[in-house]
Amino acid sequence: MAEVDATKSLSSLLNGIAQKVYYNNSEITEELLKSELYPEMSPDEFTALHDKMKGLLKSIATADMDHAQLEAFLTAKTKKQGGGGLSAEQAAALSRFWKSQRVRVKESLVAHSRWEPSLRGLSWRVDLQAAASRRGTAHSGPVALVELELGRTGQDSEFVCLEFDETKVNQVLKKMADIQESIDRIVHST
């Protein structure tokens, strides 16, 4: 029973650390984790455990370890004696955690290193411009209105509103086809 509890607590600790470090959950603090998961442990002991797990997680995430790399890494740690070592249960917990959270942690790291605004949303509609004339040009035919929602990580969105006639849409489509072509070339060669 105790072992299952210990495993559960460790898994929860790892999740808590990920929430704070990678998922921007400001409600999770070291104190909260201790009081929820390891109320009986001494503060020093908990800090040591917390820091150790955090350090290991960061190493694993920074290197974006795959399965083989992770196993090698954890095995090496379990073989180590003393404070730097890991118990088999701890290694197992880390392995389980990374298997389930790797993609999400990676996404968070990618988002963090993105400094240009990203496309948060896109909506559009097509109007039929019945009458002329905007700025003196006769403009009958369909007009597309596109609203782009742009924003940097952690900042409010900005909305950019654009209108396109058919010619413009086709020009844009041509460029997008070029982009897709480039993507296909590169993705297939990696």
Partner 1 sequence: MPAAEESYGINKVVDNICRISPDLLADVCQHVLTYLQGQKRGVDSAEISDRFQRAEVRLDHEALQDMIRFLLLTFRSAGKSNISGDELVSKLEEGSTKWTKASLQVLHKLWSEYGVSVHTQQEAQAMLSIGQLVDMQWKLGMAVSSDTCRSLNSPFVCLLLKIVEPSGQICQRSFEMTIPQFQNFYKQFKEMAAVMETV
The residues of the shown chain that bind partner 1, judged by CB under 8 A, are 61-64, 106, 109-110, 112-114, 116-119, 122, 124, 126, 128, 142, 144-146, 148, 150, 160-164, 166, 168-173, 175-176, 178-180, 182-183, 186-187
CB-wise, 138 or 162, nearer to partner 1?
162
149 by Cβ neighbours in 10 Å (0-12 / 13-18 / 19+) ranks as: middle
Closest approach of partner 1 to the CB of residue 98, in Å: 14
Closest approach of partner 1 to the CB of residue 85, in Å: 24
* Residue 139 near residue 132, CB atoms below 8 Å: yes
CB-wise, 79 or 135, nearer to partner 1?
135
Closest approach of partner 1 to the CB of residue 110, in Å: 5
CB-wise, 44 or 156, nearer to partner 1?
156
Phi, psi of 162 (to 5 degrees): -130, 150
